[in-house]
Every structure is written in structure tokens, then in C-alpha cells.
Amino acid sequence: MKKTTQPTTRDEAVELLGQIRAATINLRHHQLDRESRIKAIDDEFRPRIESLQEKIESMSAALESWAESNPAEFGAIKSIECAHGRFGFRICPPAARCIRPFTWAKVLEMMERDQNFHKFIRTKKEVDREALISARESIGQDQLKKIGVRIEQDEIFFIEPRIEEST
């Protein structure tokens, strides 16, 4: 990619912004054309893909139903290997789940009442950065510095080309 020469005058800077505008409009046209083509391809393939997904889900459900009805076919390894692949049952890692009608909020409440479960309650402590930023004037830079914090506000350069087409 060719490096653009930095403008030396205001007129050159304005001209460069005009070139950015033209390139941005051209980019948008290409992006819209690409999106249009992608949508057309998606529209063409979606029905076939959805049909195949439904077929696979239906056949998978039937195979799972057979497997659940015939546990003796699987032996100790809990799977069947064949020319077409392998299917069977996997042991999932243990998971904690609420017993109905409990919710996690109710479980926490019950655990807080029982001293034996306090060690299973997490407390997350973190700095409230938004509150520090909001209170920066009342706290003062010296106090913030004492706790190892500084509040910064950067200035960044921006370009906003007008992308409406000229008539």
C-alpha cells in the first residue's frame, strides 16, 4: 500500500478529506454489493440446509431413543464403534442444579442461615471504577495518587467523511 503524503496546507488537508470521502463512499458500495450477494447465496441455500438439519435432528432423536431402549448393546465403554462412526453415552462432569421449587437466590439464602455452608458462598470484591471517575473532583488527584490511581481522559483524532452522494 502506498503511503499518503502528509498535507502541508489547509487546502491540501481539505482535499485529502475529499479523497477519504470518495474512498469511503466507494467502500460502502462494495460492502453493500458484497452483502447483497451473500444474502442471495444464503437465500438459495437456506431451505436445503434447514431441511438437512431437521432430517439429522429427527434421525439423531430416533438413534438416541433406540440407544436408551437397548443399554445392553453398549457394554462397559458405553459406545458402539462401526463403519459409519461411533455413538453412545458420555459421562458429563458433575453439575450443581437447583431442586424445584428452589432458585439459586433461595439456595443462597438457605446457605447463609447454615454455618456449615458459609465456606461455599463467594464474595466478589472489585474496584468500582465508574464511581471513582464520577467522584474524581471531590476525591482529588493527590488522594487518588495515594491509592495508586489516576484518572485520564484521552483526546483522539477522528474523521467523519460525509457519505451522502453529491447530486
Show the CA angle centred on residue 145, arms to residues 139 and 146, nearest 5°: 90
CA 164/CA 161 separation, integer angstroms: 9
Q: How do the pLDDT tens digits run along the chain, 167 residues long?
A: 789 899 999 999 999 999 999 999 999 999 999 999 999 999 999 999 999 999 999 999 999 999 999 999 998 989 999 999 999 999 889 899 999 999 999 999 999 999 999 999 999 999 999 999 999 999 999 999 999 999 999 988 887 888 887 65
pTM beyond 0.85: no
CA 69/CA 72 separation, integer angstroms: 9
Are the beta carbons of 78 and 89 closer than 8 angstroms?
Answer: yes
**DSSP code for 22:** H
